[in-house]
Amino acid sequence: MAPHQPPPTLPGKGKRIAMMTSGGDSPGMNGAIRAVIRTAIERGCEAYCIYEGYEGLVQGGNLIRKMGWSDVRGWLSEGGTLIGTARCMAFYERPGRLQAAKNMVLNGIDALVICGGDGSLTGADKFRAEWPGLIEELVQKKELTAQQIAPYKHLNIVGLVGSIDNDMSGTDATIGCFSALARICEMVDYIEATASSHSRAFVIEVMGRHCGWLALMAGVACGADFVFIPEKPRADDWQQEMCKVIAEHRKIGKRKTIVLIAEGAHDRHGNKISAEQIKVLLSDPTKCGLSLDTRITTLGHVQRGGTAVAYDRYLSTLQGVEAVNAILDATPETPTPFIAINENKITRKPLVQAVIDTKEVAKAIDAQDYDRAMKLRDTEFSDFYEAYMTTTATSLNTDLALPAQKHMRIAIIHVGAPAGGVNAATRAAVAYCLTRGHTPIAIHNGFAGLARHHDDKPVGSVREFDWLEVDGWASRGGSEIGMNRELPEESGMAYIAELFAKYKFDGLFLIGGFEAFHALSQLRKAQTEYSSLCIPMTLLPATISNNVPGTEYSLGSDTCLNELVAYCDKIKQSASASRRRVFVIETQGGRSGYIATLAGLSVGAVAVYTPEEGVHINMLAADINHLKDVFANDSGQSRAGRLILINEKASKVYNGKLIADMIREEAENRFEARDSVPGHVQQGGTPSAMDRTRAVRLAIKCIEHLEKFEDRSDAKLKEDPLSSSVIGIKGASVVFSPMKDVEQNETDWKNRRPKDEFWMYLKATVDTLSGRPAVPPPHKPLSGISAKDAKRGLSADN
């Protein structure tokens, strides 16, 4: 018999990691706390929470608490920060930091994860720099002994940025910013309804002293008439500029006027611009020729309120996991990092440099160097600003108009099933086309509508877009020109080519899901046979399933996640009422498990079943054993219900109802199980703020891309692989990929999804943070694995 082998040492064995929130609160902070605590425990560390921010660090005592796995259960759906945050003047002074260091040593803590703004994170880095001197001073003052401080010579700190302003350089998004933006868009949508009814103007003030991200993005998402941000003040005659734009919008028939202003807005000379000034201008005909019934709404702290949207939940979760990994990877020489996200990629970046860059923006604004302020913001910020300016003043911005010989007739078609953001993308594309002098053409009801078109009876209409018609589409769900799954070959490729020639299309902009991808593939291949199809074509992926090859993000997937997460939150309320109930929720997503996995990450699902992994009897038996163990050890103190998510095509045999019935049978009345199917609710009503803003940015890039091919011959177009392309977010970049390459190298045609699905690694994170034990493979018998025996995601053998 082999000698007994001790269990392997976990990476963080004996290490104590503390989590703290500081500064202002923002939605999503509780997701970060939960992730840090559970990841630390899973990695073999002891986990602590410091209550009331730096005040708790200075006070010590009961404000520094050891946390267990179940202590953070149900926190994902809670707003604010459940461990509190408070300003601490004592920490600004060395004696306060000295006391904080003493409390950390007494509690055996040598690593901190701090979620807060740049000020809080700057304080943390200073604390780390002073740490060796602080603990030596404590020994000199005989408050601690040399033996006590010996294990704590170095302090590791990792920052998470929690800020609704999204004002930290080096990251595309901070925890809470998209939740705040969603709240603003929701309020503006409400206000727009009453503004249109009464033909009023509303001046809406949002947060942002030195950062105009919220105001700008809300302007893009809601199609505001005018926006004021600190980084890019308007010209000296901003009053005339604003009045001219709004007067033009009223002239073409708009009944409502929305002006968004960041609280830090000012003119080019640094003089503050107030909502009251704007109201006076719009109300007084003697000042700029308008006489609008104008009201002011200051949204204030409602922007911070409520639960986090899906994006902030999984962003905070993934960043919390990465923060613990960064702690365990750190050496004494490692610079203090903060966890950032660029496009879809979680990264570590130097905290000090990010804080310096952030403060440089404020300095540039104070110095009235606005070009530098804009350059210091990321590329995405500038893209959105240009997109907003292009889509707002379509008939006024003559500088962007192209010569007549470069004008194109660009057809816009929706293919597939409805997805949030499709109308916003169409609105942006139409606005850009009109600004440049192009003719945007609507094809109603997809290729089926185009093929059924007859001059005498236009069953499916082909017509030019009108600007006033699309101006209100930014917040509309569904598809205003109709969508259809029919492919060009099903409609008759020869007839489709004939219609392309008849209407003299110079470019084609497709918006849709896998059917749109397949349609573009067919059109590209048919170019060798039909000259009329030799035009530039590009696809903007839009599907709730997020299964289009060539991109990691499709319009509509964020709206779907928000709807599904909201649905799950309500179901959890029902489950929590009985305290001993499991709900099995069947999600949409086709043969892609993206929606189920990301929703599971956002709601803390016990288990997630996807088509990629499949469902087998050993898996179900292990999960049922896990649930039995969980309920057997649950004293009933937690009010959070338990959820299992299953993708609609995860199995040909096991569906949500059958799994719920199996759980109920095996539970033997110790707990209950129910199934629930949200169905087409997941397609959403009003698109999410993220889908609306990204729709605008990506749609404009698509039309810009088509413009590059306006003078190419048929032969040149067929030679250039990018003449038929799909736009996408890959890693940290927005890229156009040649359709031919994506078709051949990236597409799993049988399962209608990418071969390499970027999110697959997240499945392990869902399982780890839910405490799900390792699942035995289908071909092996169960070995009695339970949550009690398993080490939070590790099998009993480990």
Helices marked H in 252-309 — which ranges?
275-283, 285-288
Angle at which helices 177-198 and 310-329 pack, to 10 degrees? 160
Residue with token string 């009897």 = 617
Tokens representing 411?
């057809």
Q: Which of 25, 110, 125, 165 is catalytic?
A: 165
Asked if residue 198 belongs to a known ligand binding site, the reply is no
Asked if residue 452 belongs to a known ligand binding site, the reply is no
Rounded alpha-carbon distances, angstroms, from residue 201 to 68, 292, 294: 53, 6, 5
Half-sphere exposure in the Cβ direction for 237 (13 Å, CA): 7
Asked if residue 29 belongs to a known ligand binding site, the reply is no
Asked if residue 140 belongs to a known ligand binding site, the reply is no
Which H or E run includes 560?
Answer: helix 557-578
Asked if residue 674 belongs to a known ligand binding site, the reply is yes
Asked if residue 33 belongs to a known ligand binding site, the reply is no
Asked if residue 589 belongs to a known ligand binding site, the reply is yes
**Between β-strands 64-67 and 46-50, what pairing exists: parallel, antiparallel or unpaired?**
antiparallel
Rounded-to-10 torsion of CA 221, 223, 227, 231: 40
Residue with token string 């003043």 = 393
Residue 165 a catalytic site member: yes
Asked if 310 contacts 561 with a C-beta cutoff of 8 angstroms, the reply is yes
Measure the CA–CA gap between 519 and 512, rounded to whole angstroms.
10
Asked if residue 757 belongs to a known ligand binding site, the reply is no
Asked if residue 200 belongs to a known ligand binding site, the reply is yes
Asked if residue 543 belongs to a known ligand binding site, the reply is yes
Asked if residue 545 belongs to a known ligand binding site, the reply is yes
Length of the chain: 798
Asked if residue 408 belongs to a known ligand binding site, the reply is no
Q: Kindly provide the residue ranges of all beta strands, DSSP E only, lying in 289-344, ordered along the sequence.
A: 294-298, 337-342
Measure CA 444 to chain center.
30
Asked if residue 120 belongs to a known ligand binding site, the reply is yes
Asked if residue 45 belongs to a known ligand binding site, the reply is no
Residue type, 656: G
Measure the CA–CA gap between 724 and 516, rounded to whole angstroms.
12
Asked if residue 87 belongs to a known ligand binding site, the reply is yes
Asked if residue 547 belongs to a known ligand binding site, the reply is yes
Asked if 492 contacts 485 with a C-beta cutoff of 8 angstroms, the reply is no
Least Cα distance to 521 among 331, 743, 348, 300 occurs for 743
Asked if residue 255 belongs to a known ligand binding site, the reply is no
Asked if residue 752 belongs to a known ligand binding site, the reply is yes
Asked if residue 164 belongs to a known ligand binding site, the reply is yes
Tokens representing 298?
């200051």
Measure the CA–CA gap between 473 and 455, rounded to whole angstroms.
28
Asked if residue 305 belongs to a known ligand binding site, the reply is no
Measure CA 92 to chain center.
34
Q: Which residues pair with 531 in a beta bridge?
A: none
Asked if residue 546 belongs to a known ligand binding site, the reply is yes
Asked if residue 756 belongs to a known ligand binding site, the reply is no
Asked if residue 207 belongs to a known ligand binding site, the reply is yes
**Between β-strands 724-730 and 733-738, what pairing exists: parallel, antiparallel or unpaired?**
antiparallel
Tokens representing 758?
């970027």
Asked if residue 108 belongs to a known ligand binding site, the reply is no
Asked if residue 550 belongs to a known ligand binding site, the reply is no
Residue with token string 């040149």 = 716
Residue with token string 């730096």 = 54
Asked if residue 653 belongs to a known ligand binding site, the reply is no
Measure the CA–CA gap between 684 and 422, rounded to whole angstroms.
12
Binding residue numbers: 24, 87-88, 117-120, 163-165, 200, 207-209, 263, 295, 301-304, 485, 543-547, 581, 588-590, 648, 674, 680-683, 752
Binding residue numbers for substrate: 163-165, 200, 207-209, 263, 295, 301-304
> What residues are labeled active site?
165
Binding residue numbers for Mg(2+): 118
Binding residue numbers for beta-D-fructose 2,6-bisphosphate: 485, 543-547, 581, 588-590, 648, 674, 680-683, 752
Binding residue numbers for ATP: 24, 87-88, 117-120
